[in-house]
Structure 1
């Protein structure tokens, strides 16, 4: 029991580093753009280099994780992305910045294919939502502390210092990971419906667990399986652009249309704090519903429906008369999105066999980065002419559309 949660704790720390490294560019964007002579469309292009690599990595890293196992795979990924992040501090042009962000994307996606595989192997259906919420909390904590941390690191000399320091922290993380997660340590779960109890033997999941869809090769087989995976992929494609927008563009929006300075955008930590509550609350709430007798998939979908009904408030971010009002609405929709994402991610661990989980999770998560790519391209090319308001309006209804897709695909569950 203690060991299982210790591993989740290390996944939490890895996720903190993952998002601090990712957010460094967004937080320092005004300074870096000025220093390197970058326009907004060029900044969008740099973000897209990251997302293209991120998409490729999702498709490859999942399969690699299934072959290597979580211990070796995550050590490889975090080493790679930490070095790439440090190299970003050496950027002297648009080309070099794009290249190093591409390398960062290749490494960072592996964190999100490894973590759910570990959770699927070590935790039951009733615990998975909380476990996934806890390590995903690392992402939101990372995004919360990133603004003040990155601005402080950059203020100690030059903006490059922030990339050097955060990258080095990732290499230090390897020490406890390799010490705690011994090479001979394995839950040794039996295929299908069992999970490891931490007491040396598998235990059967309860009857309320959904039937896992059959999987083989790259992903799945059978009409039902493809419907489920496609629905999960499309749901990520539709909804994750909101999260990517908050990460990469919200600080720029506050500077461009709300009149904040770069130092003042550190206030965005409150938005990511709300995401922290969404990460924990979403996983905890679906777990409570399942423990009270609700079928697993129904419990996840019930929470996701509630979250989808909150996301239309995204439009009010642009309409709020004050900065504080905009921040409040941003907090609400970010909390709702994070709770949505936790339950959507947990659905994958509920439905996909453990031996192919990372592969299929990577395939589903690739939909997320495709959505981010589309969002970046649209925002980068339209913000100059039309401002940010159309983007907020467009993002406000996507979760309800995604919920309709999932409801149809999972109605038999």
Structure 2
């Protein structure tokens, strides 16, 4: 079926239960896709202490495996963003989750550090399609005033995935061995893929979308719709603002995903059976931040703030709330450290929700996925640098302190650069 072909639509009536709410069904699909994305990504971090012991990895071995995931993620983001803008979100998302689900399952068949690097590279290529496809879907299905909240709901899936992983993986490992964790989590993606192909269409091709909801979705002023050359996007200040912000701040999230289990093991002597609750608390708080950050800017805009002021106030609040993470490695009480790290994780996710929405505020819809891909690739490159740096620091001094100090201030630096590049938010097409 042609994704853009208009179909007859149901007028909203009292008997039409989905009238006015279809876009939130789409948001739920994006939430679950992101949950699965992070479930597959997080398994390795949870298993790090187990695999390090069983497979005799050094800190540098693990850092190298993470590095190659990040490298593939960066490459994939550059490619997938452009592909999705060309073939559409329905087919693009399907390709992405199919690739990453197969790669997740293949982890069960390798044992060496090199083998893990290869399958992690493939996983990174596939997982790269999630956010370009998801944020473009939000731009297609939501008016500007709701996009940060929708992005927050989608982004909340990353935290739910990170919560489920430390609860599910130990159960699977203790019952069936570590390979089962990769097989089970990888297989879940194919369930979502079937649902996506059955349900998803763009708004004007969706049979059950009411006229009133379509009018709401299309209520913003018209934007440029002509295809934009990929190279032309680098002439946009909005592209560079997103690139710089992602490059500087995404590595902090990768630090939480891939090293927190190790941090708790080294600092508080927790193991596979005991670091689950602290991780659950941190990522539940991150969920609150993801939705709360989107809610904050959406509420400010509804109360009369400009889109520019609403987005930047929410970004500033998020940046300030990360600052206490500088003290995370210096506290002796486990739960105080959890509270500090949870606040930082929540702030990061609130930051991300508004940063993604900022792209939809400043870039033509026809190029949203491409810009998301370019910026997210920059974030992955930052993550590669982080992986190498963390491995070197831990091998040399064995402390997370310098890493957390750097993390505490980098969001304010990123926000300053965003503001200098984009003093006002508006959609600008390249010349």
TM range (shorter): over 0.9
Q: 2:386 matched to which residue of 1?
A: 375
1:307/1:337 contact within 8 Å kept: yes
**Residue 161 of structure 2, aligned match among 133, 142, 146:** 142
**Residue 118 of structure 1, aligned match among 117, 137, 142:** 137
Q: 1:58 matched to which residue of 2?
A: 77
- The reply to whether residue 249 of structure 1 matches residue 268 of structure 2 is no
Change in CA separation of 1:41 and 1:222 when aligned onto 2, cut-off 3 Å: closer
Deviations 1:299-326, CA, capped at 9 Å, x for gaps? 1110111111121111110121211111
How many residues get paired? 399
2:225/2:365 contact within 8 Å kept: no
Question: What are structure 2's unaligned runs of at least 5 residues?
Answer: 1-19, 206-210, 426-431
Q: CA RMSD in A?
A: 2.0
Q: 2:89 matched to which residue of 1?
A: 70
2:159/2:284 contact within 8 Å kept: yes
Distance 1:164 1:270 in 2: 26
2:71/2:121 contact within 8 Å kept: yes
Q: 1:388 matched to which residue of 2?
A: 400
- The reply to whether residue 203 of structure 1 matches residue 215 of structure 2 is no
1:219/1:359 contact within 8 Å kept: no
1:15/1:139 contact within 8 Å kept: yes
2:57/2:113 contact within 8 Å kept: yes
Distance 1:366 1:201 in 2: 32
Distance 1:96 1:400 in 2: 39
TM value normalised by structure 2? 0.89
Deviations 1:17-39, CA, capped at 9 Å, x for gaps? 10010000000111112222211
Change in CA separation of 1:269 and 1:219 when aligned onto 2, cut-off 3 Å: farther
Q: Secondary structure at the match of 2:177?
A: coil
2:103/2:123 contact within 8 Å kept: yes
2:142/2:217 contact within 8 Å kept: no
Question: What are structure 1's unaligned runs of at least 5 residues?
Answer: 190-195
Distance 1:402 1:67 in 2: 30
What's the offset of the Cα at 1:292? 1.1
1:275/1:338 contact within 8 Å kept: yes
1:148/1:266 contact within 8 Å kept: yes
Q: 2:309 matched to which residue of 1?
A: 298
2:100/2:127 contact within 8 Å kept: yes
Q: 1:410 matched to which residue of 2?
A: 422
Q: 2:323 matched to which residue of 1?
A: 312
Distance 1:282 1:5 in 2: 18
- The reply to whether residue 218 of structure 1 matches residue 217 of structure 2 is no
TM value normalised by structure 1? 0.92
Distance 2:272 2:197 in 1: 38
Deviations 1:181-235, CA, capped at 9 Å, x for gaps? 2xxx33359xxxxxx96437973316xx9x8899821154585x2x221121111
Distance 2:242 2:116 in 1: 32
Deviations 1:57-80, CA, capped at 9 Å, x for gaps? 100000110111111111111111
What's the offset of the Cα at 1:10? 1.1
What's the offset of the Cα at 1:376? 0.7
Q: 2:332 matched to which residue of 1?
A: 321
Q: 1:397 matched to which residue of 2?
A: 409
Q: 1:192 matched to which residue of 2?
A: none
Distance 1:97 1:336 in 2: 32
Change in CA separation of 1:202 and 1:46 when aligned onto 2, cut-off 3 Å: closer
Greater shift after overlay, 249-258 or 96-105?
249-258
Distance 2:216 2:405 in 1: 51
2:143/2:217 contact within 8 Å kept: no
Runs of 4+ in 1 over 6 A off after TM superposition: 211-215
Q: Secondary structure at the match of 2:218?
A: strand
**Residue 187 of structure 1, aligned match among 183, 192, 203:** 203
